[in-house]
Amino acid sequence: MPGGGARAPAAPPAALNTPAARRRPGARRRALLHAALGAFGLAALAALIRHVGLAEMLAAVSRAAPFLPFLIALEAARIGCEAIATAVLCAPRRVPAAELLRIHVVSYPVMALMPAGRAAGEAVKAALLSPHVGAPRAAAIATANQSLALLAAAPLSFLAAAALFRVGGGASPLALGVLAHAALLVVSGLGVAFAARQRAASAWLTRRFARAGQLTAAFQEAVRERPPVPAWPFAACVAGRALQAAQYAVLLAAVGAESGPLRALAAYGVGAAGTAAGDLIPGQIGATDGAFTLAASLLGLTASSAIAISLLLHLLQAAFALAGIAATLAWRRSPPAR
């Protein structure tokens, strides 16, 4: 070796060879990708606002101020529907209602603002539920919630596609896209539900939601305690999606557009398409805004009103996300019942 008596480099510490250490470069790349996508979304939103005119867009937003209490109430009720679904999935264990509400409020910022936030939010719920129901059952509940979130969105998306066909007078690319998205929701929701019953897939799900690779057998036992699509949690999740469609009816009325059930479902479909397209963008900033701008004429909106709707949605999510962050800091966890 050069240098005569130079010694061979010491082997790297064992900690550097752990799976977590090997995943760090990938995690950094994902963080950079998400940051880049977020910056792109913000730039796209700024360009859209500049195109339609800031003053005109702000005027459309300010006209919607009297409708904000209705939007807040509907969003709170939607979160309540998800909490009800989780409560039913927790049976036969009983988690206090206040704790279930805290768990859903605390996980809201992750779901609303993180890239691919639903899965990340369910992982947070599982971590918070595990002291009450145990890690395997908490992971099973998170998996069921993930599946139900996909499946419950499908009926509304099918109705939204039909509304877009009707409003657009035929098979527009947007209507076909929403229809394809609805079909994909069914396939992916059922895929998650049935994959949890397979040992290889359940090992991956356990690592994701319980952060423990030795719980596969207990996880599968917990999963098999209920049918792949449990009826009452599914109904609660569908009710939550219906409340989301009602939000679009309020938003359309807030900007002075026609807001009947047909238009509300069509707007829901546009929002779902934008959310799906921007799933990896934090908060879907720019994606939902672009979707509403492109569909403005179809929904009977001006460009400024279309962006106002998407901005109001972002503001609503931001308000609840801030409430979730405050709850994380101030709302103490109730001790599990012994």
Token pair in block for residue 125 = 């719920």
Q: What are phi and psi of 296, to 5 degrees?
A: -55, -50
Q: What is the pLDDT of residues 29-51, one digit of tens each?
A: 655 654 564 465 456 556 555 55
Q: What is the pLDDT of residues 50-63, one digit of tens each?
A: 555 566 667 766 77
181 compared with 1, residue with greater pLDDT: 181
> Closest Cα to residue 156, out of 258, 250, 261?
261
Q: Which residues of 144-179 are buried (b: 16+ CB within 10 A; e: fewer)?
A: bbbbbbbbbbbbbbbbbbbbbbebbeeeeebbebbb
Long-range CB pairs of 236-239 (<8 Å, 24+ gap) are 236/81, 236/82, 236/84, 236/85, 236/88, 237/81, 237/82, 237/85, 237/148, 237/149, 237/151, 237/152, 238/152, 238/155, 238/156, 239/81
Q: Per-residue confidence at 260, pLDDT binned at 50, 70, 90?
A: confident
How many residues in total does the chain contain?
Answer: 338
CA–CA separation, 177 and 179 (whole Å):
5
Q: What angle do CA 172, 309, 158 make, to 5 degrees?
A: 40
301 compared with 34, residue with greater pLDDT: 301
